Homo-oligomer: A and B are copies of this chain.
Amino acid sequence: MELDFTKLDGLLPAVIQDATSGEVLMLGFMNADAYAATQASGEVTFFSRSRNKLWRKGEQSGHVLRVREILVDCDVDSLLIRVDAVGPGVCHEGYRSCFFRQLSAGGEAKVIAERAFDPNAVYGKDAR
């Protein structure tokens, strides 16, 4: 089966879900190299759009994402990766999930999670 990397200029969205709790932890993008590195290493590797290079999640923080299974959608253009998340959380702002805010219809954002760790202690000023 060939993944369809054509729709977003060589990238696919990859949803990261905690395999045990079912919590959605983050969404990242992969190019073909990042996907191959993820399959080969068993640790989630994204393509960083801001830094324009491969980014093994946790390479700085140690909060790596160990792959349990990789699922693909009907259109072969999105991935769902179920993981064991090492460490207290995946978010560079110190939360377990990057989805820690709820949006109201009026546009207000409300934080609905508690901080799981001190991001400054883990990432310093150079976040991620």
Where the two chains meet, the residues of A that have a C-beta atom closer than 8 Å to any C-beta of B are 1-2, 7-8, 13, 15, 17, 21-24, 26-27, 39-40, 49, 69-75, 78-80, 91-93, 95, 98-103, 105, 107-109, 112
- Are A73 and B99 neighbours in the complex by a CB distance under 8 Å? yes
- Are B71 and A102 neighbours in the complex by a CB distance under 8 Å? yes
Write the nearest CB–CB distance from A3 to chain B, whole angstroms. 8
Pick from B27, B79, B102, B112: contact of A78, CB below 8 A: B27
CB-based nearest B residue for A38? B105
Q: Which residues of B contact A40 (CB under 8 A)?
A: 105
- Are A24 and B27 neighbours in the complex by a CB distance under 8 Å? no
A-B contacts, 21 listed (Cβ < 8 Å): A1-B107, A1-B108, A2-B107, A8-B8, A13-B13, A15-B15, A15-B24, A15-B27, A22-B22, A24-B24, A27-B78, A69-B102, A71-B100, A72-B109, A73-B98, A74-B92, A74-B93, A74-B95, A74-B98, A75-B98, A80-B99
